[in-house]
Amino acid sequence: MAMPQKRTAVVAVDYSETGLLALRRALALGEVDTLHIVHVVELASPIGVASMPVQVQPASTALDDEKRILHEYVERHVSAARTSGEAGGISRVVSHLVLGNPADEIVQLASDLDADLIVIGTHGRRGVQRFVLGSIAERVVRFATCPVLVERPKSTPADKVPQIEPPCQRCIETRQSTEGRELWCAQHRERHGRRHTFHSRDTKSAFPSSHGGLGSVT
């Protein structure tokens, strides 16, 4: 009889609410045997030369504090999950404190461990906030060599979600009647003209080709 395959997962924690959600989700995964919990300490650039590729490593005392904080965090939440029966089938937990770029180090650790899954939290925010708070999860998803489970809160405040309006029917009619020469109706022409610049060119007549597509530019 074949033995069940032991699966390995990596979960990233940053002590935030979403990081804790990711940890709880990873602990509850019944098919995972070994869970690696990683916290990445990002290297800082010296004040005044932030644009230079020089990074400052935290002092040894600061790293000792980071190790202690991570150890206590892992012990507290893993113990709570085991007491409540939410730890699934996990038989081994390993914590890692790593220095570097968070997304890159998470992906690299998962690759080094030949992990079957990465679990990471995200705030699920958009716009400027997405680049500040969601870029790590996005980069992990993009470059990971294994599946990635992204955990996020169930609800996002309504004011964080962009309100996308449906197309204006008059604008559609204007584009149809002018064969695309005019994009906007009279009502929206002024609004778009202030913040929306575009350049249109008939590519078929400008770059003819024998096969009916775009020709080459020489």
Domain range list for the chain: 7-45+52-155, 164-196
- 6's enclosing H/E stretch is none
Cα atoms in the Cβ-side hemisphere of radius 13 Å centred on 159: 0
Q: Which pLDDT score, from 0 to 100, does residue 216 have?
A: 32
Query: Among candidates 70, 92, 90, 81, which has minimal Cα distance to 14?
Result: 70
Rounded to whole angstroms, the Cα distance separating 29 from 23 reads 10
Query: Among candidates 3, 2, 5, 10, which has minimal Cα distance to 115?
Result: 10
- The helices-and-strands tally (H runs, E runs) of the chain is 8, 5
- pLDDT by residue, tens only, the chain of 218 residues: 444 577 999 999 999 999 999 999 999 998 899 999 999 998 765 554 455 555 556 667 788 999 999 999 999 999 999 999 888 789 999 999 999 999 999 999 999 999 999 999 987 554 444 433 458 999 999 999 999 999 988 765 554 556 677 889 999 999 899 988 888 888 887 766 555 555 555 545 444 444 333 333 33
Q: Which pLDDT score, from 0 to 100, does residue 190 have?
A: 72
Q: Which pLDDT score, from 0 to 100, does residue 145 have?
A: 93
Q: Which pLDDT score, from 0 to 100, does residue 181 have?
A: 81
Q: Which pLDDT score, from 0 to 100, does residue 133 have?
A: 41
Fold of the domain built from segment(s) 7-45+52-155: Rossmann fold (3.40.50)
pTM of the model: 0.64
CB-based contacts of 95, cutoff 8 Å, min separation 6: 36, 37, 38, 39, 70, 71, 74
The residue behind tokens 């990445």 is 40
Amino acid at 44: A
Q: Which pLDDT score, from 0 to 100, does residue 142 have?
A: 93
Q: Which two tokens stand for residue 212?
A: 């009916």
Q: Which pLDDT score, from 0 to 100, does residue 122 have?
A: 87
Q: Which two tokens stand for residue 167?
A: 């197309």
Q: Which pLDDT score, from 0 to 100, does residue 111 have?
A: 96
Strands (E), 79-201: 92-99, 117-121, 148-151
